[in-house]
Amino acid sequence: MMDRAALRLILLGVFLLSATSGPVKKKQNVDIYSFYINSTVTSRYATTVITSRVANTLNESQEIQFEVKIPKNAFISKFRMVIEGKTYDGVVKEKAEAQQQYNKAVSRGQSAGLVKSVGRILEDFKTSVAVAALSKVTFELTYEELLQRRLGKYELLINAQPMQPVADFKIDVHIQEKPGISFLEVKGDLSTGDLANAITTTRADKDAWVTFYPTRSQQTKCKSCGEHGMNGDLLITYDVQRKNPKGDVMVSKGYFVHYFAPTDVPRIPKNVVFIIDHSGSMSGRKMQQTRLALLRILSDLDEDDHFGLITFDSEVSFWKRELLKATETNLKNAKSFVKEIRDRGATDINAAVLAGVEMINRHPREGTASILILLTDGDPTSGETNIQKIMSNVKEAIGTKFPLYCLGFGYDVNFDFLTKMSLENSGVARRIYEDSDADLQLQGFYDEVAVPLLTDIQLKYPGGTNLTKTSFGLYFNGSEIVVSGQITDNSVESFTTEVIAVSKGRNVTYQDTIMAKDPSDVPPENEDFMQRLWAYLTVKQLLERQVLLKGQEKEDEKKEALKLSLKYQFVTPLTSMVVTKPQEGEVEIADKPKEGGREHFDAVAVPDAAPYMSLDVALDEEMDQEVLLETETLFDVPLISLETPPIEESDAAMYSTFEEVFDSDIIFDVLPTYSSPSMQTTSPPAVQVHSSRFLQPVVGQSKPLCFDVPVPHKLRLLQDSASEFSMNGESLSEQNGFHQIAFHYKMNHLLIVSTKSISYRNGQDNAEFLWGQEKTQLDTDGVSLVVLENEMNVTMGNIGVVILSHKKDGVMFLWPAIWEYPKDVSLTGILGKGDISYEETKGSQTLTLKINNKEWKTSLETVSDYRLHSTPVRECWLVPFQAVMEAEIADFTVTRL
Ligand SMILES: *[C@@H]1O[C@H](CO)[C@@H](O)[C@H](O)[C@H]1NC(C)=O
Ligand SMILES: *[C@@H]1O[C@H](CO)[C@@H](O)[C@H](O)[C@H]1NC(C)=O
Ligand SMILES: *[C@@H]1O[C@H](CO)[C@@H](O)[C@H](O)[C@H]1NC(C)=O
Ligand SMILES: *[C@@H]1O[C@H](CO)[C@@H](O)[C@H](O)[C@H]1NC(C)=O
C-alpha cells in the first residue's frame, strides 16, 4: 500500500490540444520589437538567419514562444537564445545521445519539449522559454540549403509569420552569383497589394539585393494579413548566366563545386511510357486530376517523341501495345482513351511496370532517351505483392537502361517502396499531394523531364577527391548537375573538369581548366560556404543512398553522414539539436522531422527521438515507473509537467484520481506555457486526412460491408458500460491500423498496448511485456493477458479481444479483432456491431443496400483483413460510416485513450 502517492503527469500533446481549444484569455503582453530575416545566397547555397527580439511587457515572468517555418530541404545549423545577457546555444548531437539527455530531463520531472511538424514544403520550428518580468529575449535560428534548379530557375522561399505586427521588420536577401544573374523576380503572397511597396530590388551584374521592410500598418493590410500581422511567403526566383557550356567551377579553401547545365545541345527525342494506376482508391478527384494532367502532357509531346499509355488495376490494359509516334492522330486517339480512364479494382504494380519496361525494350532506343513514369496511389495488392520481389523484377527488367520515375499520389502510398524502386533504377520518386492542384503537380513533374538533352553523363575531376555523385543517367533542360569535392593538392594552380555524355546521336565531351587561385571567387565574409555546400550535398546523397545499401556498406555510409552532420552541426535525420534552457537545465530537442505517412529513410534506424508522449505515473518517490507512450504524432506541443498534491488514498482510488485529473478543468488553467495567447496558434497543425478501412462481417452474406474512418483520431473501438470496459485506439496519419490501443476495465485496470511495448497495471500488479517474446501469460482479477510473438489475447470479464501486430514495409501497427461477441451485452464502439444484416436492392444504375431500414449507395471495393496475420484482401461493399454505425464519426472519437 502506498499512502503517499504522488501523481505526476508529464504530458501529452494530445490532451493539450483539447486544452488549447478551451477559452483563451486575450492579453497583449508580448512585444516582438524586431524581426529580421537575413538570407545570403552564395553560388546557390543559401544561409538564412531569422532573428526575433521579444520583450515581456508583463510585470511577471511568462513563457514566450518562437515559431517559424523553414523549407523542408534545409538543414538547421544553429539555434541560439539570448536571455538577460546570457547565451544559450543549441548543440547538435547524435540522435540517440540527444534522446538520452532528453529522457534524463523527463525522468527528473523537468519539462522537455521539442520542435517539429511537417507541411507540404515547410517545416515548423517552435520553442518557448520563460522570460522574467519586463525582460527581453532574442531568438536566432540559422538554416542552410542548396537551391536546386528546376524548370530553368532557382527558388528561395522565405516564410514570414511573426504573429503580430512588428515595429522593426526586415527581410534582407543578398544573392551573389559569379556567372552573373540572368533574371530575378519576387513573388509570393507577401509581394502583393500594399506590401509590394515595401519591396526593393537592386541588381548589379553578379549581385542582387532584395529588401522587404513593411511598415507596421502595411503589415496589417495585405490579403493574408490581419490583426496578428503578416502571414505569408516571399518567393525569390532567379537564374544565372550560362555563357560557358562547360559549366561554372568555383574553388575555395580546398573545395570546389561544379555547376553543369549546358544549353548548347539539341533535345533528344524521348520514348515515354505512362503507367497509370486506376485502382479503386484513385476514384473521384484523383482520377479526374490524373486525366486532366495526362491530357495536357499529351499535348506537350513533341512529334518525334514516342509514347505509350498503360493503365492498371488488378489487370494491365494498354492503349496500344507498341510505342507510337506522337503524331496528331495518335495523340487524338490517346486523348480519347485517357478521357475514358475510370477507377476500378486492386493494384498490380509489378505486372504494370514490367509491361512498361517491355514496351520500351521492344522499341529501338538508339539516339533517344527512354523514360518510364509510374503513377500510383496505393500499395501493390494484386498479382505479385511482395515488395522485394517486385523491386528485383523491375530492376532486372530495366537493367540500368533507362530511369523509372515514381509518382506517389497522396499518403496511402508506400512511398518508401517507390523511393527505393526509383533510386534503384536511376530515377526519383515524387509525392503528389492530394490537393486542388494535383494535376499541376503532375504536369510540373512531367515538365521537368520533358526535354532530355544528354544521357549517360560522367563527370571527372582529376584533381578532386571525396566527390559527390558524378554519374547521371539523364540531364534535362532546365535542371542542373552539381558536383562538389575536395581538391587533392591545394597548391596547384589550375583545376580541370571533364564531362562526357551522349547527346542526340553523338558523344560529347566538355573539358575545362580554371585557375584555382582566382581571388575574386568567394567573398571573404562567406569563405566557408563551399565546404558547407560540399558537406550538405554529401550528407543529402549519403542519406538518400541508405535505402539502396545493406550491411557494412550501409553502416559505413551512415557513419560518414553522421560524422559530417555533427561536424557541420546539421540537424539531419541522424542528429538532433539539444537546446538547454535557463530553467534548471530544461531541455528541448529539435529533430529533422520525417514526412507523414510511411515514408522514412532507413537511415533513421535510431529510434526517433521525439515527440514522445510521456505518461509518468510515479507511484511513490522510490518506485518511479514510467510508461513511455511513444508516438510519432505530428502534433508538436511542448511537454508540460505538473504536480498534484500528494493524495493519501488507496491504489485503486489513485486511478480514479488519475482520471479526474485528466477530466478536470483545473488542469488546463495551470498550464504555464500558454500565458501568451496572442502569440500562439491554437489550431492543431494541418494533418492530411486519411482513412482506415474497417471490415464489418455480416452473417449469412458472402460479401462483408466495409467503411472508412478518417484518421488520425482517437477512436472508441469497443465499450461495455455495464462492466466498465472500454477499448480505445489511436492511429497515426497515413498509416494502417493503430499504433496504440488502451483498455480500461473497472476502476483500476489500465492496459496500454503500443507497437513498442505493452504495459498493464491494476494498482497491485504492474507488468510490462514486449512484442516478439515467447508466450507470456498473466491472470488476475478477471483479467487474462496472453502475449504471443505477434499477437495478444486480452480477456476482461466476458469480453475477449485479439490484438494482432502487423508489420508492413517495416512499419508496425496493431489491429484488434473480436471473434466472439458476448451474449446479452450491449456493446458500443466502432467494433461493437456484432450482428448486422443487409439486403441488396437494385436501383436502375447504381447498386444500393438496405441496412437498418435505410437505403445506401454502395460500390464493390476491397479491404485488407487485418484480423488475420495473412492479411487477405477481400471484396466488400463500401458504405458510409453512418450506414453501419447509425451515428456520426464524432460520436466515436475520444479526446484521450
Ligand atoms: C545579414 O547578413 C550579412 C552577412 O552575414 C551581414 O553582413 C548583414 O549585416 C546582415 N544584415 C542584417 C540586417 O543583419
Ligand atoms: C504588477 O502590476 C500590477 C498593476 O499594474 C500591480 O498591482 C502589481 O503589484 C504588479 N506586480 C508586481 C510583481 O510588480
Ligand atoms: C531549354 O530551355 C530554354 C528555356 O528555359 C529554352 O530557351 C531552350 O530552347 C530549351 N532548349 C531546348 C533544346 O529545348
Ligand atoms: C559513343 O561512345 C561509345 C563508347 O565510348 C561508343 O560505343 C559509341 O559508338 C559512341 N557513339 C557515337 C555515336 O559515336
Ligand positioned closest to the Cα atom of 509: 4
**Spatial contact of 323 and 363, defined as CB atoms under 8 Å apart:** yes
Nearest CA to ligand 1 atom 1: 38
Q: Looking at the domain assignment, is residue 568 inside a domain?
A: no
pLDDT per position as a tens digit, 331-388: 999 999 999 898 888 889 999 999 999 999 998 878 899 999 999 988 888 899 999 9
Domain boundary among 415, 450, 485: 450
Q: State yes or no: pLDDT of 525 exceeds 90.
A: no
For a mutational test of ligand 4's pocket, the pick from 455, 507, 509, i.e. the residue with the most ligand atoms closer than 8 A to its C-beta, is: 507
Which mutation among 477, 479, 503, 508 tests ligand 3's pocket best, with the greatest number of atoms within 8 A of CB?
Answer: 477
Burial class for 58, CB neighbours closer than 10 Å (0-12, 13-18, 19+): middle
72, pLDDT greater than 70? yes
The residue whose CA has the least distance to atom 7 of ligand 1 is 525
The CA angle 448-453-455, to the nearest 5 degrees, is: 100
Give residue 734's pLDDT.
Answer: 67
Question: What is the tens place of the pLDDT at every residue in 606-626?
Answer: 222 222 222 222 222 222 222
Report the DSSP beta bridge partners of residue 643: 8
**Ligand 1 pocket, residue 525 CB under 6 Å:** yes
Cis peptide before 611 (omega within 30 of 0): yes
Q: In what order do the strands lie in the sheet with 791-796?
A: 776-780, 783-787, 791-796, 799-808, 811-817
Nearest CA to ligand 4 atom 1: 507
Instruction: Calculate the dihedral angle through the C-alpha atoms of 640, 646, 648, 649, rounding to the nearest 10 degrees.
Output: 0
Give the C-alpha separation, 239 to 203, whole Å.
13
> Is the CB–ligand 1 distance for residue 318 below 6 Å?
no
Whether residue 46 is predicted with pLDDT greater than 70 in this model: the reply is yes
pLDDT at 605: 23
Q: What is the pLDDT of residue 101?
A: 73
Residue 586 CA to ligand 2 centre (angstroms) = 28
State the residue range of the domain holding 383: 270-450
Indicate the DSSP class of residue 657.
Answer: H
For a substitution probing ligand 2, which of 56, 57, 59, 135 has the most ligand atoms within 8 Å of its CB? Answer: 59
pLDDT of residue 742: 93
In the reported structure, the alpha carbon of residue 263 is separated from the centroid of ligand 3 by a whole-number distance in angstroms of 7
Q: Quick check: CB of 36 below 6 Å from ligand 1?
A: yes
pTM of whole model > 0.85? no
What's the confidence (pLDDT) of residue 226? 75
Residue 753 lies inside a defined structural domain of this protein: yes
Residue 45 has pLDDT above 90, yes or no: yes
User: Is the pLDDT reported for residue 653 higher than 50?
Assistant: no
> Mean pLDDT lowest for which of 344-348, 513-517, 572-576?
513-517
Q: State the Cα–Cα distance between residues 639 and 627, nearest whole angstrom.
A: 15
366 lines ligand 4 (CB under 6 A): no
Cβ of 39 less than 6 Å from ligand 1: no
Phi-psi region of 448 (alpha: psi -120 to 50; beta: other; left: phi over 0): alpha
- Is residue 526 lining ligand 1, measured as CB closer than 6 Å? no
- Determine the atom of ligand 4 nearest the C-alpha atom of 367: 13
Ligand nearest to the CA of 501: 4
- Report whether 372 contacts 651 (CB < 8 A): no
Reply yes or no: is the peptide bond before residue 12 cis, omega within 30 of 0: yes
Task: Find cell 480500461 and name the residue.
Answer: 744
550 lines ligand 4 (CB under 6 A): no
Ligand 1 center from residue 722 Cα (angstroms): 68
pLDDT at 733: 66
Buried b (16+ CB within 10 A) or exposed e, 65-94: bbbbbbbebbbbbbbbbbbeeeeeebebbb
In angstroms, the first-to-last Cα distance of the chain is: 27
Position 414 confidence tier, pLDDT thresholds 50, 70, 90 = confident
Residue 231 confidence (pLDDT)? 86
Determine if ligand 1 sits within 6 Å of the CB of residue 40: yes
Q: Considering every ligand atom, which ligand is closest to the CA of 503?
A: 4
Comparing 119-133, 572-586, 622-636, the range with the smallest average pLDDT is 622-636
The finding on whether 266 has its CB within 6 A of some atom of ligand 3 is yes
Instruction: Return d(Cα 723, Cα 796) in angstroms, integer.
Output: 9
In sequence order, the β-bridge partners of residue 499 are: 459, 510
Domain boundary among 396, 423, 450: 450
Q: Which atom of ligand 4 is nearest to the CA of 505?
A: 13
Q: Is the pLDDT of residue 677 over 90?
A: no
Between residues 775 and 446, which one has the greater pLDDT?
A: 446
In this predicted structure, the answer to whether residue 16 has a pLDDT above a threshold of 50 is: no
Per-residue pLDDT at 772 exceeds 60: yes
pLDDT band at 286 (very low <50, low <70, confident <90, very high): confident
Whole-number Å distance, alpha carbon 603 to ligand 3 midpoint, is: 38
Ligand with the closest atom to the CA of 526: 1
Q: Residue 132 Cα, ligand 2 centroid: separation in angstroms?
A: 14
Q: How far is the CA of 35 from the centre of ligand 2 (A)?
A: 29
- The 8 Å CB, 24+ separation contacts for 491-497 are 492/463, 492/516, 493/517, 495/249, 495/251, 495/256, 495/461, 495/463, 495/464, 496/461, 496/462, 496/463, 497/246, 497/247, 497/249, 497/258, 497/459, 497/460, 497/461
Grid cell digits, residue 124: 515548423
What pLDDT is stored for residue 868 in this prediction? 81
Please tell me the distance between residue 81's alpha carbon and the centre of ligand 1 in angstroms.
18
Atom of ligand 3 nearest to the CA of 151: 5
Ligand nearest to the CA of 36: 1
Strand 873-878 relative to strand 705-711, pairing: parallel
Domain harbouring 382, CATH code:
3.40.50.410
Q: Cα(155) to centroid of ligand 1, in Å?
A: 20
Instruction: Kindly report the protein residue whose alpha carbon is nearest to atom 2 of ligand 4.
Output: 507
For position 689, what pLDDT does the model report?
Answer: 45
217 within a domain of the structure (yes/no)? no
Does the Cβ of 477 fall within 6 Å of ligand 3?
Answer: yes
| pLDDT at 838 exceeding the cut of 90 | no
Instruction: Give me ligand 2 centre to Cα 16, in Å.
Output: 29
Ligand 4: centre distance to CA 505 (Å): 9
Assigned C-alpha cell, 543 = 542519406
**Which ligand number lies closest to the CA of residue 504?**
4
Mean pLDDT confidence for 474-501: 92
> What was the pLDDT predicted at 604?
24
- Is residue 483's pLDDT more than 90? yes
Comparing 241-250, 260-269, 474-483, 766-775, which segment has the lowest mean pLDDT? 766-775
**Is residue 884 domain-resident?**
yes
Shortest-distance atom of ligand 4 to CA 502: 1
Q: How confident is the model at residue 453 (pLDDT cuts 50, 70, 90)?
A: very high
Is a pLDDT exceeding 60 seen at residue 680? no
**CA separation for the pair 851, 466 (Å, rounded):** 67
Ligand 2 atom 2: residue of nearest CA: 59
- Residue ID of nearest Cα to ligand 4 atom 6: 507
Q: Report long-range pairs for 774-782 (Cβ below 8 Å, ≥24 apart).
A: 781/749, 782/745, 782/746
Average pLDDT of 61-86? 90
Given a cut of 60, is residue 647 above it in pLDDT? Answer: no
- Report whether 176 contacts 41 (CB < 8 A): yes
Ligand 2 centre and the CA of 32: distance in Å?
22
Q: Is 691 in the pocket of ligand 1 (CB under 6 A)?
A: no
Mean pLDDT score of the chain: 79
Residue 391: is its pLDDT beyond 90? Answer: yes
Closest residue to atom 11 of ligand 2, CA basis: 59
Which ligand 3 atom sits nearest the alpha carbon of residue 266? Answer: 13
669 has pLDDT over 50: no
- The whole-angstrom separation of Cα 429 and Cα 374 is 9
Number of domains the chain contains: 2
Judge whether 459 and 483 are in contact, CB under 8 Å: yes
The CA 578 to ligand 1 mean position distance, Å, reads 26
Cα 650–Cα 652–Cα 654 angle in degrees, nearest 5: 75
C-alpha cell at 186: 519576387
Q: 102 CA to middle of ligand 3, Å? A: 52
Q: Look at residues 821, 679, 814, 833 and name the one whose alpha carbon lies nearest to residue 740.
A: 814
| Residue 59 in contact with ligand 2 by CB distance below 6 A | yes
450, 476, 505 - which closes a domain: 450
pLDDT above 80 for 590: no
Q: What is the mean pLDDT of residues 191-211?
A: 91
Q: In ligand 2, which atom is closest to the CA atom of 59?
A: 1
Residue 383 covered by a domain: yes
Percent of the chain with pLDDT strictly greater than 70: 82
Instruction: Point out the least confidently predicted range of 105-119, 142-156, 731-745.
Output: 105-119
Q: What separation in Å is there between the alpha carbon of 62 and the centre of ligand 2?
A: 14
Task: Specify the residue with its C-alpha closest to ligand 1, atom 10.
Answer: 38
> Which atom of ligand 4 approaches the CA of 507 most closely?
1
- In what side-by-side order are the strands of the sheet with 740-745? 714-720, 725-730, 740-745, 749-754, 757-761, 766-770
* pLDDT on residue 520: 54
Whole-number pLDDT of residue 44: 95
- Atom 13, ligand 4: which residue's CA is nearest? 506
Q: Which ligand is nearest to the CA of 182?
A: 3
Ligand nearest to the CA of 239: 3
What pLDDT is stored for residue 591 in this prediction?
72
Is residue 457 assigned to a domain?
A: no
| Closest CA to ligand 2's atom 4 | 59
**Which atom of ligand 1 is found nearest the CA of 38?**
1
Nearest ligand 2 atom, CA 58 = 1
pLDDT at residue 843, rounded to an integer: 56
134 in contact with ligand 2, CB cutoff 6 A: no
> 38: CA distance to ligand 1 center in Å?
6
The answer to whether position 484 is within a domain reads: no
